[in-house]
């Protein structure tokens, strides 16, 4: 995997400025990624302020440790390697019961799309991986090739950005027919 981590932070000032950051506040970046939002937020905090930064991608966390080193040295940042769906539990484990603001930058980050071996982009020839957390065992390839037709239809139908076009439905139907044929031959 490429060691270079380049991410373009979108709506940086607009996002953080909307938080109306208190210098001594406690904040959460639920999707650390390239750490652009975190870095800008940290410049608005004094040494009494604190940021809890979540990401399930270890590569993103390692990059952020370099980028945010001056704030880490001051004890202003805590990294949490986990999905933000566990945010409340993980903060409770750390004794954090109240925060002053939270930032979510949802979606796939630039490095995940740019790094061929991550398998997120259809523009690059690579295994179909698509794991946000590289330590997770289940890849997109395994889902597409082992889930039955009805499960795949349910997954794609529930995706907000997908209208589940008939072309995709047809391809999944052919996929299911091939899988049934393989099972009969084995």
Mean pLDDT across the stretch 144-172?
Answer: 69
Mean pLDDT across the stretch 1-19?
Answer: 75
Q: Which pLDDT belongs to residue 177?
A: 67
Comparing 149 with 91, the larger pLDDT belongs to 91
**pLDDT at 10 exceeding the cut of 80:** no
Q: Which CATH number fits domain 12-110: 2.40.30.10, 2.60.120.1130, 3.90.850.10, 3.40.50.150?
A: 3.40.50.150
Mean pLDDT across the stretch 88-95?
Answer: 98
**pLDDT at 13 exceeding the cut of 70:** yes
**For the chain, percent of residues with pLDDT exceeding 70:** 75
The three-state (H, E, C) secondary structure of 64-121, written as one string:
HHHHCHHHHHCCCEEEEECCHHHHHHHHHHCCCCCCCEEECCCCCCHHHHHCHHHCCC
Tokens of 136: 């997770």
Comparing 38 with 131, the larger pLDDT belongs to 38
Give pTM, 2 decimals: 0.71
- The domains of the chain are located at 12-110, 124-185
């Amino acid at each position: 995997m490429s060691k270079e981590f380049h991410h373009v932070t979108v709506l940086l000032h607009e996002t953080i400025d909307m938080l109306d950051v208190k210098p001594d506040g406690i904040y959460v970046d639920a999707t650390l990624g390239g750490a652009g939002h975190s870095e800008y937020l940290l410049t608005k905090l004094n040494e009494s302020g604190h940021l809890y930064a979540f990401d399930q991608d270890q590569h993103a966390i390692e990059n952020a440790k370099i980028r945010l080193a001056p704030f880490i040295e001051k004890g202003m940042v805590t990294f949490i390697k986990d999905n933000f769906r566990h945010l409340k539990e993980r903060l409770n484990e750390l004794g954090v019961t109240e925060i002053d603001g939270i930032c979510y930058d949802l979606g796939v980050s630039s490095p995940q799309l740019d790094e061929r071996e991550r398998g997120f982009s259809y523009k690059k020839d690579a295994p179909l991986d698509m794991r946000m957390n590289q330590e997770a065992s289940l890849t997109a390839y395994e889902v597409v090739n082992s889930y039955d037709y009805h499960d795949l239809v349910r997954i794609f139908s529930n995706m907000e950005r997908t209208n589940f076009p008939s072309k995709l439905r047809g391809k999944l139907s052919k996929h299911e027919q091939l899988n049934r044929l393989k099972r009969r031959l084995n």
